[in-house]
Amino acid sequence: MGFLVVILTLALIALVAAVVSAPIRRARGAGDSPDADAQAPTGQAPVAPSAHTRDDLEAAREAKYREIRDTELDFRTGKLSSEDYETIDADLRAEAIEILNELDELRPREP
Amino acid sequence: MAGLGFACLVLALVVCAYGIGASLYGVRSGRVEFSESGRRSVYALAGILTVAFIVLEVAFLSNDFAFNTVADTSSRTTPAFYRAAAVWSSQEGSLLLWAWLMSLWSSLALFLTRKRMRDVAAYATAIMLGFSGFFVSLMVFYANPFATTHPVPPEGAGLDPLLRFPTMMIHPPMLYSGYTLCTIPLAFGMGALLARRVDADWIKAIRRFAFAGWLFLGMGILLGARWSYSELGWGGYWGWDAVENASLMPWLTATAFLHSLMIQEKRGMLKVWNVSLVLATGTLAIMGTFLVRSGILNSIHAFGGQTLGVPFVCLIAVLIAGSIYLVVSRREMLRSEHRLDSWLSREAIFLANNLVLVGLCFVIFWGTYFPLISEALTGQEASVGPPWFDRYTVPLALILVLLSGIGPVIAWRRATLANARRNFLVPIGCALGLLAILEIAGVTQKPLALVMFCLAAFVFGSIGQEFFRGARARRAMAGEAAPLAVLALVRRNRRRYGGYIVHLGIAVLFVGVAASSSFQHASELGLSPGQSTRVGSYEVRYVKPTATITPRYDQEHTGSTLALGAVLDVTKHGHHVTTLYPSEGFYSSDEASQGTVGSLIGGQPVSHVALDGGITRDVWAAIQPNIEAPWLERIVKTGNSTLPAEDGIVAIAYLAREYLKHPPQAQFHFEVSPLVMWIWLGGFIVLGGALIAIWPAPSVVRARVLARSRGRAVRGLARA
């Protein structure tokens, strides 16, 4: 039983080491290649500030869509007057278009 | 295999340390491969702790009493289900459960965010590994679940009788899932502050985990309340026990966070408040674990004999100091983007709701930690009891229910007075209608309960109105039949209508609490067979005594050596209602001084409550048999002096027979409580609503597809 425990423990350590070190080994392998570029071990470019902004804008866009739908539902269920609804809806759609414009200006996300 | 288990713990500690270092180095140096390695450390940690947990489970299921925890909390006669769940009945096993669940939820969170927020996720990885490493180090250095003993005892001590109850076995995993899920938003919140990226993306990432933590905590709290009511002999479901409060506090702040998060999503407001709530919820979750595991406060839950107080206090101090530093140093980027448009708006109601929830949390915090604070200041321990808690929490709970009815009928941004007047007609009508009915029925003795019932009716009215109007709008647009319109409405607006159902469930739950606590009939008295008593409008007659001895007759697997009880006939206006069979179990003890027979029944007795539950009322009974009647004591004394240990059960059987032939007067506790079932039903409704709200909606995917161009996106937004 003691021998089995030792074998199992060593196997677990080896497996963990392999899993955890894989990204670093891949990066080193890519760095040693003559055709190495700035690719990260997962095949993706280092994170650029525009990627952060795209993520933020996409999340903001989804939130804005939801807000527009909520406002329309508020109007249709009688919680907003038509004047208030038109004003708020116009504001929200303008904000949404701003977000979409900012998204369009960013370079496309790399595959 | 204990060696493998402990090796897993040591390996886990090493992986945590490595992962923290790799994640921090990766994010600070921009070397993505190290951040990715840190993420994989969390996955590896989950794998390692799964192996450790399996080792301990196998030890329990195979009755390997070489393991100290197995010998202390299990036995060959413990049923397999309870043996499997006994893993977390000990200090050591519960720490392993906590660390394992933490690693699983952390892995899920990092997997779901693997393609976004790399810098935030890297910091969050380090923090989550920090928590995991803390709990693993407690096990490695203080409370090893894989500690062994030699020679191996032939039999274990068995599971604590109080834990031989199905919901009590599920209660810890649910609670610990809640606690660990609450630390995920804390980790990502701190990560966002460290990376200086508190924005829409961060909210989107943590919202589901905050919701899941809230849900698991809530279900764990309800399961514990159900256990208390159905198993413990005091007849209540909430006693403001320190450990009960410890789980309620993070639940309250998580509730506040889920509401104010919507304001930040829509208006970019309350950023400081939200970040503070997230950090407070995670810290309170750690403090709750501290209370449960350190035994620092008197509580029925304080199973742990060891004190882990010092390490926990250090961790909590670091959390609090770190949170304050991060919020203060990042306050510029946490400025609100907009201001409140109107005090007559859903934002304003949510703000009020937040203040009430945080106020409730503060009251409970003060009352729970007051003994510690008092002892620190005066040197004398003091405590506050249920009356103190009720005095401050009941008014706040009433305001909370009122706000939960107002919120759904008020628009975002601003509502006009004319609209508000029109929208409140039905809810107010429901409340006043119910008030009139209750007045006519003569149910007016308890004004606070009456107010709660009317507020609940107000909530039912406002939620019902929302469903009606929403379905009507849907039918007008899509021409669907009413049932389909309701389904489509909920499917396309899951967050909103799931939330409404949660509000409905909370109102139902509070009705149950108000009714059962205000209109309960209780009676405690001694009865002999043939005697009866009146409890409310019910007559309870003690028909005859019962006695069972294990193992042959222990149908409920209580593990008791002897169970003495009664058959009770319950009638109302002469008609039979139910038959109840309460009993009390007498367990063996390790006290040799009690003698060979006395020690078989000398352990802490445990009441086995009899309950007949219904939608309108529960009839509840507990018994305390008099096992110390002179003629029964004589049997024990004679058995002690004449029988060898292996024949002691013969004397117990004789005692049981004598109890049946000449039963002494027994002490009974009866309760008739209205609407207790509404508490559990309310919980189910909350669960259903929460699942609807948290389920990913297909419309999100459609919105993404439609948003490729400005023109199509604008058209897509036009649909409700």
- pLDDT of the residue at B719: 45
Quickly state the pLDDT bin for B503 (edges 50, 70, 90): very high
- Check residue A111 and give its pLDDT: 46
* CA B615 – CA B598 distance, rounded (Å): 43
Contact: A59, B7; criterion CB under 8 Å: no
Nearest residue to B408 via CA among B486, B346, B451, B480? B346
Supply the pLDDT for residue B385.
84
Task: Please give the interface size between A and B, counted as residue pairs whose CB atoms are below 8 Å apart.
Answer: 168
| Under 8 Å between Cβ of B271 and B175 | no
Is the Cβ–Cβ distance between B558 and B582 less than 8 Å?
no
Sequence ranges of the domains in chain A: 1-34, 47-111
- Structural domain harbouring B64: 1-164
What separation in angstroms does the CA of A85 have from each of A3, A74, A82, B342, B490? 75, 8, 5, 15, 22
Same domain, B443 and B467: yes
pLDDT of B179 over the 80 cut: yes
Q: What is the DSSP string of B301-349?
A: T----S--HHHHHHHHHHHHHHHHHHHHHTGGGG--SS--S-SSSHHHH
Residues B548 and B432 in one domain: no
The model's pLDDT over B599-646, given as tens digits with 9 standing for 90+, comes to 888 887 888 899 999 999 999 999 999 988 888 888 888 888 888 877
User: Per-residue pLDDT for A53 more than 80?
Assistant: no
User: Bigger pLDDT: B717 or B93?
Assistant: B93
Mean pLDDT of B337-341: 75
Q: How far is B208 from chain A (nearest CA, A)?
A: 14
A-chain residues near B704 (CB < 8 A): 62
Q: What is the pLDDT of residue B300?
A: 47
- Range of lowest pLDDT (B77-91, B515-529, B568-582): B77-91
**pTM listed for this prediction:** 0.89
Domain count, chain B: 3
Mean pLDDT of B366-390: 79
Over residues B125-178, the pLDDT tens digits come to 999 999 999 999 999 998 899 999 888 888 887 777 777 777 777 888 898 999
On chain B, the residues whose CB falls within 8 A of the CB of A81 are 416, 418-419
Would you say residue B376 has pLDDT above 80?
no
Residue A106 pLDDT level (bands cut at 50, 70, 90): confident
Across the range B295-318, mean pLDDT stands at 66
B592: its two tokens? 């040799």
Number of H helices, E strands in chain B: 23, 10
Average confidence (pLDDT) over B52-77: 90
Q: How far apart are CA B9 and CA B139, in angstroms?
A: 8
For Cα atoms B134, B136, B139, give the angle at the middle one, nearest 5 degrees.
115
Between B78 and B387, whose confidence is greater?
B387
Contact state of A19 with B43 under an 8 Å Cβ cutoff? yes
Rounded distance, CA B362 to CA B315, Å? 21
Residues B561 and B439 in one domain: no
Which of helix, strand or coil describes residue B612? strand
Q: Find residues 61-120 of chain B whose CB sits inside 8 Å of chain A.
A: 116-119
- Same domain? For B620 and B688 the reply is no
Please give the torsion angle defined by the CA atoms of residues B358, B364, B368 and B371, in that order, rounded to the nearest 10 degrees: 90
What pLDDT does residue A39 have?
Answer: 44
Query: Is some CB atom of chain A closer than 8 A to the CB atom of B30?
Result: yes
For residue B686, what are its two tokens?
């909350």
Residue with the two structure tokens 């390692």: B48
pLDDT in tens, B623-636: 999 988 888 888 88
Q: For the residues of B92-107, what is the DSSP string, one character each?
A: HHHHHHHHHHHHHHHH
Share of chain B above pLDDT 90, in %: 51
What pLDDT does A38 receive?
46
Q: What is the pLDDT of residues B582-591, one digit of tens each?
A: 999 888 777 7
Tell me, yes or no, whether B6 and B89 share the same domain. yes
Alpha-carbon distance of B258 to B689, in angstroms, equals 14
What is the torsional sign of CA B527, B531, B534, B540?
positive
Average pLDDT, chain B: 87
With a cut of 90, say whether residue A67 has pLDDT above it.
no
User: Could you say which of B124, B139, B164 is where a domain stops?
Assistant: B164
> In angstroms, what CA-CA distances link B564 with B50, B493, B511?
42, 55, 36
Same domain, B556 and B656: yes
The answer to whether B478 and B485 are in contact (CB under 8 A) is yes
How many CA atoms does the CB half-sphere of A73 hold within 13 Å?
A: 26
Asked, for residue B121, whether it belongs to a domain, the answer is yes
CA angle B676/B678/B680 to nearest 5° reads 90
Distance in angstroms (rounded) separating the CA atoms of residues B687 and A94: 37
**Whether residue B560 sits in one domain with residue B474:** no
In a domain, residue B342? The reply is no
Confidence of residue B525 (pLDDT cuts 50, 70, 90): very high
The residue that leads in pLDDT, B389 or B705, is: B389
Residues B483 and B580 in one domain: no
Same structural domain for residues B642 and B538? yes
Report helix, strand or coil for B614: coil
Cβ contact (<8 Å) for A65 and B703? yes
Three-state SS sequence of B106-149: HHHHHHHCCCCCHHHHHHHHHHHHHHHHHHHHHHHHCCCCCCEC
Residue B290 lies in a domain: no
pLDDT over 50 (residue B708) = no
Q: Examine the fold and report which residue of B148, B164, B180 is the final residue of a domain before the chain moves on.
A: B164
Answer yes or no: is B355 within a domain.
Answer: no
In-domain check, residue B280: no
* Residue A50 confidence (pLDDT): 57
CB contact under 8 A, A79 and B415: yes
Does B96 share its domain with B118?
yes
* Cβ-nearest to B36 among A42, A66, A96: A42
- Determine the pLDDT at residue B718: 47
One domain, residues B495 and B561: no
* Residue among B11, B466, B469 whose CB faces A12 most closely: B11
State the pLDDT confidence band at B50, using cuts at 50, 70 and 90.
very high
Rounded (10°) angle between helices B118-141 and B91-112: 170
The per-residue pLDDT for A80 is 86
The rounded radius of gyration (Å) of the Cα atoms in chain A is: 26
Q: Are both B546 and B510 inside the same structural domain?
A: no
Alpha-carbon span B214 to B614, nearest angstrom: 28
Task: Give the mean pLDDT of B541-565.
Answer: 77
Contacts of B307 (CB under 8 A, 6+ apart): B294, B295, B296
Tell me: pLDDT of B216 over 60: yes
Q: How confident is the model at residue A70 (pLDDT cuts 50, 70, 90)?
A: confident
The pLDDT confidence band at residue A45, using thresholds 50, 70 and 90, is very low
Pick from B164, B187, B205: which residue ends a domain? B164
For A50, A106, B205, B518, the CA distances from B118, given in Å and listed in that order, are 13, 19, 12, 53
Is A96 in contact with B3 (Cβ distance < 8 A)?
no
The answer to whether position B583 is within a domain reads yes
Mean pLDDT of B69-81: 84
Confidence of residue B720 (pLDDT cuts 50, 70, 90): very low
